[in-house]
Amino acid sequence: MPVSDRKMRVLKYIPSKLYGFLRDDADGFEVFFHLATFQPSSGVEPPRCSSCPGAPRCSLTADPPPPILGELVSVTWPADSPAGKAPRASLVTREVPATAVVGVVESFDTARRYGFVMGSDGVSYHLHESEISDGRLPLTGGHVVFYPGLREGRPRACHVKVCR
């Protein structure tokens, strides 16, 4: 009999490996998940960056994004999971549709591979190279489109697209 509808947050997601971990805020309990078990809700149309001079307006894909760090999900896993390891989720469902944000890069250190971006929502987000989806490094003052997330309680730009 599965344990169902336990609310957890995305603790870690590794896009190159297609898996991650979920954690319950209340007791620290963790569950392993594979992207194949993730059911994203259909989101709203992603915003488009109209600030790119001489280029078509940038946007994220119309498809819902993969798991976002810190987002709330509902998780189900088999009750007979082996003791001593994180159980493997059989179903992970996004609780709230993901909404993208347009931002301006405040700083980016190419040697350290991180920086900060000011979102159109007025929040400054940590920007790490591992979250950039197209492999292009951002320039200070450049525009990006991303999904806001949380890592260790701090705002993090997730699934970032650098505008052309």
What are 117-145's pLDDT values in tens digits?
A: 999 999 999 999 989 887 788 999 999 99
pLDDT on residue 133: 83
Domain ranges in the chain are 2-94, 101-162
pLDDT on residue 117: 97
Phi then psi for residue 82, to 5 deg, are -60, 140
Element (H, E) at 8: strand 2-14
Is the domain spanning 2-94 CATH 3.40.1550.10? The answer is no
pLDDT on residue 72: 94
Same fold, 2-94 and 101-162: yes
Q: Which residues lie closer than 8 Å to 89 by C-beta, 6 or more apart? A: 22, 31, 32, 33, 34, 37, 75, 76, 77
CATH topology of domain 101-162: OB fold (Dihydrolipoamide Acetyltransferase, E2P) (2.40.50)
Q: Which residues lie closer than 8 Å to 87 by C-beta, 6 or more apart? A: 31, 32, 77, 78, 81
Which regions in the chain score pLDDT beneath 70? 1-5, 42-62
Q: Are 118 and 138 in contact (CB under 8 A)?
A: no
pLDDT on residue 58: 63
Q: Are 145 and 99 in contact (CB under 8 A)?
A: no
Q: Which residues lie closer than 8 Å to 12 by C-beta, 6 or more apart? A: 20, 21, 69
pLDDT on residue 65: 85
